[in-house]
Homo-oligomer: A and B are copies of this chain.
């Protein structure tokens, strides 16, 4: 299952705001449309945003100047512009920085060659993401046992990456190996990525899935119905503090109380080693209407009521049992082991 397609320099994406009712594919024809697609969460999931942003730049090259100096300015401006679409997901910056480095390292070469190299780099970012998902699944499945009942939050699946996902890639792999895995998917208010996306893709792939409201997880843990938790991440600091969809920290706290393992799954590109701790990760505060309504389609509250709407929260490293990456499973002490593993 893919959420984006890049063919003959044309970029298409599955509009995830329309799921699960409709599968609508849209074309992204310029940077503005790319910006909007990310901003409005039509394309979401930290790794997928990175791949998409890279293709978006590649696809925009045709509209850029034929004069190198002006091209370089336009390229730089485009990168800066796209980076503003979402402040938390580090993969966005990571992918765009990669393109920028290609441009910078080869700025003496002919413009036509620079453009070819950007295109090649975007494709490489996508291929790499696919491979990262495969490796995370391979490492992560070692943490799963026959018959496990796994809880996941938001969508860290094939709709969030260029491959099978992060946390959900582990679930797909475990389902393949053990056959009898059961999944609980948190619906993930306010934007319901769990109900709309994770439940949808797990069902399509025939993985037995039970949808729950976010506040039911503690009850199910108390009843002994959940064995472990796997979630993705949007940014991980060098000490292991992990930013992910709002509600993840809540899950980590209740998992600890019930003595359940809590695993974060993310590729090396999600790590931001420049950050000492999660306190430095900016948290995007989104519009009131996401909370006052359901998907802007159904009003559920008094129309002018105040809301809080942080899109992410930060789970401190001490609540994380292990972090599954494409380079292996990282256990505490995270501060030491992250640098060792990620820089290897």
Q: Which residues of A contact B (CB under 8 A)?
A: 20-21, 184, 186-190, 192, 195-196, 199-200, 203, 208-220, 222, 246-247, 249-250, 253-254, 256-257, 291-292, 294-295, 297-302, 305-310, 313-314
Q: Jot down 21 A-B pairs with beta carbons below 8 A, ordered by A.
A: A20-B299, A20-B300, A187-B291, A187-B301, A189-B213, A196-B301, A199-B305, A211-B291, A211-B305, A211-B308, A212-B307, A213-B309, A216-B250, A218-B249, A218-B313, A219-B249, A219-B250, A250-B250, A254-B254, A294-B300, A298-B298
Q: Is the CB of B302 within 8 A of A219?
A: no
Which residues of B have CB within 8 Å of A310?
Answer: 216, 219
Report the Cα distance A288→B344, complex, angstroms. 48
Q: Is the CB of B214 within 8 A of A213?
A: yes
Q: Is the CB of A211 within 8 A of B306?
A: yes
Known: A222-B313, A308-B220. A250 touches B298 (CB 8 A): no
Q: Is the CB of B189 within 8 A of A215?
A: yes
The residue in A200, A297, A301 that gathers the most chain B C-beta atoms within 10 A of its C-beta is A301
Known: A212-B291, A306-B211. A300 touches B187 (CB 8 A): yes
Residue of B nearest to A214 (CB): B215
Which residues of B have CB within 8 Å of A196?
Answer: 300-301
Residue of B nearest to A188 (CB): B215
Residue of B nearest to A283 (CB): B219
Report the Cα distance A222→B249, complex, angstroms. 9
Known: A200-B302, A291-B187, A294-B300. A214 touches B212 (CB 8 A): no
The residue in A195, A214, A300 that gathers the most chain B C-beta atoms within 10 A of its C-beta is A300
Which residues of B have CB within 8 Å of A186?
Answer: 215
Residue of B nearest to A185 (CB): B305
Residue of B nearest to A19 (CB): B302
Q: Is the CB of B313 within 8 A of A247?
A: no
Residue of B nearest to A222 (CB): B249
Which residues of B have CB within 8 Å of A195?
Answer: 291-292, 300-301
CB distance from A281 to the nearest CB of B (A): 13
